[in-house]
Amino acid sequence: MNPVCPRCGWCRGAPQTVEVYRWLLGASIGSARVAFAGDSAGAALVVNAQPRAREPGLPPPAAALLISPWVDPEAGGGTYRTNAETDGYFYRDLVALMAGLYPGPGGDPRDPTANPPHADLTGLAPMYVRAGGHETLLDDGRALVERAGEAGLDVFDGQVHTFRMAAGRSPEADDAIRRLAGWVRPGLGLA
């Protein structure tokens, strides 16, 4: 549910996610059976949608899965510098370009409803945060875990941004998916 930027910006994705969640709850699918999951910018959407779900009094989902999260549009993490040579996908100039598009026309990139480092992260679902040890976004995940409190960070040494896309062709990607499933299944009552 991540509308295309810059036409839509961040302001539509989170409310749409909350509406889908509300529909699931109305269809008698309890919050204990729902996990929000997102990869890269989708991870920011997962974080941004949860406080919005609190506003109408909805219960939090059972879990949140954040894979290679891009949650700091200001690119403040040190791994943008230290991992610049090992991550051929995300680099500071690209993030600056995308961050300028993310809020949409007239949007404020520091708005806490769009920028997780500036948001109230209390009372969110338990989070599983995964990042590759060689990706520039590693510090985004670290900072999020530090702020959220009830989250764990699983770092895969030597891996780059969204390396799980190599599932079926990479033992590391297959292991990452098994570990993610091993974490979320008990939280959803599927153990």
Residue 50, C-beta contacts closer than 8 angstroms, at least 6 positions apart: 36, 60, 61, 64, 124, 125
Comparing CA positions, the residue from 111, 103, 127 lying closest to residue 47 is 127
Asked about 68 being catalytic, the answer comes back as no
Fold for 10-186, please state it: Rossmann fold (3.40.50)
Q: Residue 161: is its pLDDT beyond 90?
A: no
93-135 pLDDT, tens digit each: 888 888 777 666 677 777 777 778 788 888 889 999 999 999 9
φ, ψ of residue 65 to 5 degrees: the values are -110, 120
pLDDT for position 63: 95
Over residues 46-78, the pLDDT tens digits come to 998 988 888 788 999 999 999 999 888 888 899
Q: At 4, is the pLDDT very low, low, confident or very high (cuts 50, 70, 90)?
A: low
In contact, 50 and 31? CB cutoff 8 Å: no
The catalytic position among 28, 31, 40, 170 is 40
pLDDT at 11: 60
